[in-house]
Amino acid sequence: MTDPNDRGKNGPKNGPYPQTISAAYGVAIDAGFGAVAPPIYLSSTYEFAGYDQPRRYDYGRSGNPTRDLLAEALARLEGGAGAVITASGMAALDLLAGRCRPDDLILAPHDCYGGTMRLLKARAERGHCSVRFVDQGDEEAFEAALADRPALVLIETPSNPLMRVVDIEALVAQAHRAGAEVAVDNTFLSPAIQQPISLGADYVIHSTTKYLNGHSDVIGGAVVAADRGPIEELRHWANVVGSAGAPFDSWLTLRGLRSLFPRMEQQQANAMAVANYLERHPAVSAVFYPGLASHSGHAIATRQQRGFGAMLSFEIVGGVPAVRRFIESVEFFTLAESLGGVESLVSHPATMTHADMGEEARGFAGISDSLLRVSVGLEAEQDLIAGLEKGLSACRS
């Protein structure tokens, strides 16, 4: 395999467009046979060239060509200096959280991903670091929390499941003034729509399980760092703890990544159509989608995103009995957790993704029992709307 980073002396100075990186990074670099699709390297170990002569790769936990290809593609898409590919999104978060020392504070959003909250609380309980959850949309509360001098601020925007949007650039500036590093979980939008490093973030975290792979057949994660130093440290740490992603998963994710841009474009167009349909429906009392002018985050999202993504949530009239009837009757939306695949999914946060947090915390976060979340896929918009109509007309019966 020749080095895909070598664009040759005639290569573009500032690198190709992101769509090109996504579709073709690492294509046709196979020196052995001229394979167009990058080959997969499953080998756990590598032959030394001779006595005391290791080659570029020696052992699969510390490095793998397939995994490195995905890492470099993601780093370029996010505009970072490098990336580490991990076995899951949680492993990516833990790679960052694991660097913290007992006197370090992590400041996380009050409505962050449930698994993230569980991980940070578990680390804090064991004395590995301390953690505080704050409403980052409340400027005064955020500024007050920064007085505690956090080492790391974690941002998630749009949030799950209400799609609250926060201003990354403003929060990063505040956090940097207080001496904190900033990581943004960019899972809900992908670099096709939002690039936190260009807004000042030090790290981007992904659950590649979602849009980056996009086909609901891999669990994976990534940390992208803006600077070279931290990426070396994170790569070292991933080798120490053994949390690197598997080569086959990396290969599948790279395959999924090829169509990231057209998928995102079509899925968010479908989501906009679904949101407009839901907003006018009498059986729906609220729709949470940043693409709607009625959404609290619409102005910020318009500024900091290249689109509004394909995740949305809505409340239906009639409480739990109506939710049950909707779920029994809706078509083309499969009842399942997760998101970001080519197929549309519906979930009920109160009994699924957000069941663990308890009723009181859900109330505080604004997650009612009537709330449904959808991940809008690539199906025909007309089918998706017809499928929702089946569900919503059953609500009233």
Ligand X SMILES: *Cc1c(COP(=O)(O)O)cnc(C)c1O
Backbone angles phi, psi at 193, to 5 degrees: -115, -30
Q: Which of 106, 113, 186, 194 is nearest to 154 (CA)?
A: 106
Site string for ligand X, 69-88 (x = CB under 6 A): -------------------x
Q: Which of 319, 329, 323 is nearest to 372 (CA)?
A: 323
DSSP string, 63-132: --HHHHHHHHHHHHHHT-SEEEEESSHHHHHHHHHTT--TT-EEEEETT--HHHHHHHHHHHHTTS-EEE
CB-nearer residue toward ligand X: 85 or 197? 85
CB-nearer residue toward ligand X: 209 or 313? 209
Catalytic residue among 68, 94, 111, 185: 185
- From 113-121, 125-133, 279-287, 375-383, give the range in contact with ligand X by CB under 6 A: 113-121
CB-nearer residue toward ligand X: 113 or 203? 113
Catalytic residue among 30, 46, 57, 61: 61
DSSP string, 283-345: TEEEEE-TTSTTSTTHHHHHHH-SS--SEEEEEETTHHHHHHHHHHH--S-EE-S---SSS-E
Q: Is 61 one of the annotated active-site residues of the chain? A: yes
Other Cβ atoms within 10 Å of 355 Cβ, number: 13
Residue 210 one-letter amino acid: K
Site for ligand X in 139-178 (CB under 6 A): 156, 160
Is 115 a binding residue for ligand X by CB under 6 A? The answer is: yes
Backbone angles phi, psi at 108, to 5 degrees: -120, 160
CB-nearer residue toward ligand X: 160 or 195? 160
Question: What residue has token string 């080998």?
Answer: 43
Catalytic residue among 41, 113, 203, 289: 113
CB-nearer residue toward ligand X: 219 or 330? 219
Site for ligand X in 180-219 (CB under 6 A): 185, 187-188, 207, 209-210, 219
Q: Is 46 one of the annotated active-site residues of the chain? A: no
The 3-state DSSP composition of the chain as helix, strand, coil percent (nearest 5) reads: 40, 15, 45
Question: In the complex, what is the shortest distance from the CB of residue 113 to ligand X, in angstroms, rounded to a whole number?
Answer: 4
- From 1-9, 42-50, 108-116, 292-300, give the range in contact with ligand X by CB under 6 A: 108-116
Question: In the complex, what is the shortest distance from the CB of residue 278 to ligand X, in angstroms, rounded to a whole number?
Answer: 22
Is 89 a binding residue for ligand X by CB under 6 A? The answer is: yes
CB-nearer residue toward ligand X: 29 or 249? 249
Interface residues with ligand X (CB under 6 A) are 88-90, 113, 115-116, 156, 160, 185, 187-188, 207, 209-210, 219, 221
Active site residues: 61, 113, 185, 210
